[in-house]
Amino acid sequence: MLEAGPIQILVNNAGIHDDAIFPGMRWEQWQRVLDVSLGGFFNVTQTLLLPMLATRWGRIVTISSAAALAGNRGQTNYAAAKAGLHGASRSLALEVASRGVTVNVVAPGIIASTMSAESFDARRISELVPMKRAGTPDEVAKLVAFLASEDAAYISGQVISINGAML
């Protein structure tokens, strides 16, 4: 417990990618990506959950990826790790629902960033995204802020895509 009280809102946003086609993927690549996404979720969420349960209020929002829903060439490890977060979050939502804690996942598609700029030029984004543009970090942040608010008290166990109608 912190001096000012427990942490009541948790946003799990850990993730890395170490891409390779599956037949050529090394075990270390597989394990490292799963360790960061799923291990990070476990380590942080388990540590902060009991105080939320004690106060009967909490919000857990985990950032995933559209790759968990649709797959992505060369990212079997990343898609598996992010999809694992969906199952873990849905199960945890069932466990804590009666204690006032909500658990949801946000699955962004292509979001404007340095990393996405390296992978997707404007033409490719226009081909992939029906809205013909990348999302913005601010759009993702506003969705996360809503899910962390009292206004989202009855939303739990959901995977919410924010992807310009990609899926």
Q: How far is CA 83 from CA 7, 38, 89, 118, 149, in A?
A: 26, 10, 10, 24, 25
C-alpha to C-alpha distance for 105 and 27, rounded to whole angstroms: 27
Chain position carrying tokens 């799923």: 38
Can you tell me the distance from the alpha carbon of 155 to that of 93, in angstroms, rounded to the nearest whole number?
A: 10
154 is catalytic: no
Helix (H, G, I), strand (E, B) or coil at 73: coil
Strand 101-108, strand 9-12: pairing: unpaired
Q: 111 in helix, strand or coil? A: strand
Q: Are 66 and 161 in contact (CB under 8 A)?
A: yes
Active-site residue, selected from the candidate residues 75, 78, 96, 102: 78
Degrees to nearest 5, angle at CA 11 with 5 and 14 = 125
- The answer to whether 124 and 116 have CB atoms below 8 angstroms apart is no
Active site residue ranges: 78
